[in-house]
Structure formats: C-alpha cells, structure tokens
C-alpha cells in the first residue's frame, strides 16, 4: 500500500507499507504502545507485527488549523489499522476519532462511517479494479480508482468533492492497482491523441542523416 497524508489538502507525509501484516496509523509522541503490557496491548493498539506509521506534527502559521488538528491527532493515539491480503485492503478503527471512508467498492462510492473495532473491506484489486480496467480498455466504463479516501474526524462529502476543508485526510493506494493504472494511462487510450507536425525539410535532412545517407530520396532533400 501507499498512503498519502494531507493536512488541509497539503501533503505532509507519504508512506510505503512494506510489512506483509499491515500497518497502524496513529499519533502518540509518548508511544504508550511501547509501555503497556499484555493482555491489553493488542486490544488497544493492534498486533505488534504491524508497521507503525505516525502522523507528523502539524506545522502551520494558522493558529485555528493547528489547534483543531491537534485535537483530532490527540484522539488518534490508538489509531487505525490497514491490512492487505489477496489483493483486498481492510480497515479497522481503534481510535476515539471518528473515521469516514469513501471507497469505490462500498456503498457506490458514497462516504460511510467506519465503526469502531469493526474490520471492513475497503478495496479489492482483483474483484473490482482489474475487471474495471478491462472494461475501461474496451470503452465500456470510465477509468477506475486505484485508491480510497479517508477523512479523520470530519465527514467526507463524496469521492469527487473538494476535500480541501478536511483538517486530516488520507489517500490509500493499492500498489498493484496504481501500477496497472499508470501503465494503462501511458498506453493505448492515449495513442490516438498523440500529435505531430508534418516534417519540414530540416526534419527530412535529420532523418536522412539518421539513416546514414541510405534514403533513395536523399537527392531532393540535399538539394533543398
């Protein structure tokens, strides 16, 4: 997975999740997850094997933004869990901070509230994305999304809305889906739209030089 964290639509951190288990997104400068012992530790923070990804501090000249952002961050001390198995991404909310998600595979893309301690599938590369890519290439649908959106403590309006008013938001990409989307975007759907000018005499001269003077029509080019 690739996770892009934004504060008021300004990108502040980009995480690439390397752990096969998943990751925990949280904010806790005191790292209480390292102090607390079992049996409560896993219930509070999730499995130890998860990659620990901490929200960065809020650095802004806007006092109001800073104040309200830290209110949200303080309620993200337990964080949220993201797991990826067999092409599917699952999300679990552990924090007091309410979390909203907008995903193309859930609720027709309309945002929904992630209930606490409930593991929810929020993306499916094989079941949703890959079939949609084939439909897109066949001209039967629009370009699919390789990501889903998260709003922390504020409700997302819709998947296509402007999210600049969100104090803390995230885009989560499935890495394979993003790779396939980039490949498709640079391939056949664009090939018919490439534009070139007709070659002038200097272009023809350069072509002649590239061919090593073997062009049968070179006499005319050289005379021009």
Residue 11 has pLDDT above 70, yes or no: yes
The torsion region of residue 26 among left (phi > 0), alpha (psi -120 to 50) and beta comes to: beta
Buried b (16+ CB within 10 A) or exposed e, 101-123: bbbbbbeebebbebeeeeeeebb
Residue 217 lies inside a defined structural domain of this protein: no
Domain at 111, CATH number: 2.60.200.10
Q: If you average pLDDT over residues 175-181, what whole number do you get?
A: 92
Domain that holds residue 112: 2-190
Q: How many domains are there within the chain?
A: 1
Is 197 part of a structural domain of the chain?
Answer: no
Mean pLDDT of 79-88: 95
C-alpha dihedral sign at 6, 65, 113, 41: positive
* Residue 196 in domain: no
Average pLDDT on 51-65 reads 95
């Amino acid at each position: 997975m690739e996770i892009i964290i934004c504060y008021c639509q300004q990108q502040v951190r980009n995480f690439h999740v390397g752990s096969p288990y998943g990751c925990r997104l949280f904010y806790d400068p005191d790292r209480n997850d390292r102090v607390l012992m079992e049996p409560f530790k896993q219930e509070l923070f999730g499995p130890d094997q998860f990659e620990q990804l901490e929200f960065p501090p809020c650095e802004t000249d806007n006092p109001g933004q800073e104040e309200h952002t830290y209110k949200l961050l303080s309620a993200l001390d337990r964080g949220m869990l993201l797991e990826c198995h067999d092409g599917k991404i699952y999300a679990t909310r552990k924090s007091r901070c309410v979390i909203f998600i907008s995903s193309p595979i859930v609720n027709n893309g309309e945002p929904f509230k992630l209930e606490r301690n409930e593991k929810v599938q929020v993306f499916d590369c094989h079941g949703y994305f890959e079939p949609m890519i084939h439909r897109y290439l066949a001209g039967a649908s629009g370009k699919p999304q390789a990501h889903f959106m998260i709003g922390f403590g504020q409700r997302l309006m819709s998947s296509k809305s402007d999210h600049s008013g969100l104090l803390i938001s995230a885009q989560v990409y499935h890495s394979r889906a993003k790779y396939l989307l980039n490949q498709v975007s640079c391939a056949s759907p664009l090939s018919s739209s490439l534009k070139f000018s007709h070659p002038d005499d200097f272009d023809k001269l350069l072509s002649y030089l590239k061919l090593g003077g073997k062009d049968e029509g070179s006499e005319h080019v050289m005379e021009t």
